[in-house]
């Protein structure tokens, strides 16, 4: 049941005061948290309506105070759950998620289907190599060879070898291949 009254006493520093009921009776304690949240502080002499509740100390206390002379604002209640009106709906959350998933699938497909360039240090494929007991294993200098045939194989089939100083096509002329 709502009761009408007037704010008779108010301590703005401490955030409480007392309301005198219009129909008479004892003053009722009023805390600032029972007033509507509208940016305006309670004013002495302001006409209000309220409900009677019991405070922490067991005494009567004004609850759900409304100020009819102010613009209508919904009263503040702590038990009321917070509303999230700014949150997007289900579709508002699924559309960006779907876009990110689609972008990831596309990127993964492009990444897995790209052609990788052969490195200058990568050995040619096995069908390009000449048959024989030798294979490219990263050796590049004459001092690493054990025969002229091995040096010739490396010069003709392996990348970045340094065995033909005068560029005449004959490797390791001073060590292995004395023609």
Residue 122 has pLDDT above 50, yes or no: yes
Predicted pLDDT of residue 101: 94
Higher-scoring residue by pLDDT: 173, 22: 22
Domain range 3-66, CATH class: mainly beta
pTM: predicted TM-score of the whole model, two decimal places: 0.39
Residue 26 has pLDDT above 80, yes or no: yes
Which tens digit of pLDDT belongs to each residue from 48-107? 999 988 888 888 899 988 888 776 655 555 555 555 566 778 888 889 899 999 999 999
Residue 140 has pLDDT above 80, yes or no: yes
Which tens digit of pLDDT belongs to each residue from 152-162? 888 888 888 88
Residue 151 has pLDDT above 50, yes or no: yes
Higher-scoring residue by pLDDT: 40, 155: 155
What is the percent of the chain where pLDDT is above 90?
15
Q: What is the DSSP string of the chain?
A: --EEEEEEEEETTTTEEEEEETT--S-EEEEGGGS--SSPPP-TT-EEEEEEEE-TTSSEEEEEEE-TTSPP-PPP-TTSPPP-TTS--HHHHHHHHHHHHHHHHHHHHHHHTSPPPPPTTSPPPTTTSPSSS----S--SGGG-SSHHHHHHHHHHSTT----TT-SS---TTTT---
Higher-scoring residue by pLDDT: 98, 129: 98
Q: Domain ranges in the chain?
A: 3-66, 122-179
């Amino acid at each position: 049941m709502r009761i009408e009254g007037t704010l008779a006493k108010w301590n703005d520093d401490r955030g409480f005061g007392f309301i005198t009921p219009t129909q008479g009776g004892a003053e009722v304690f009023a805390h600032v948290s029972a007033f509507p949240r509208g940016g305006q502080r309670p004013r002495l002499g302001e006409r209000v309506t309220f409900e009677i509740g019991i405070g922490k100390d067991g005494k009567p206390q004004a609850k759900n105070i409304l100020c009819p002379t102010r613009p209508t604002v919904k009263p503040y209640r702590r038990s009321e759950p917070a509303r999230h009106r700014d949150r997007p709906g289900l579709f508002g959350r699924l559309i960006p998620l779907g876009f990110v998933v689609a972008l990831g699938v596309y990127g993964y497909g492009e990444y897995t289907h790209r052609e990788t360039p052969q490195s200058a240090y990568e050995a040619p494929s096995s069908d390009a190599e000449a048959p024989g007991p030798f294979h490219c294993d990263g050796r590049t200098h004459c001092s690493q060879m054990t025969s002229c045939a091995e040096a010739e194989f490396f010069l003709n089939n392996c990348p970045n070898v340094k065995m033909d100083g005068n560029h005449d096509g004959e490797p390791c002329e001073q060590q292995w291949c004395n023609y």
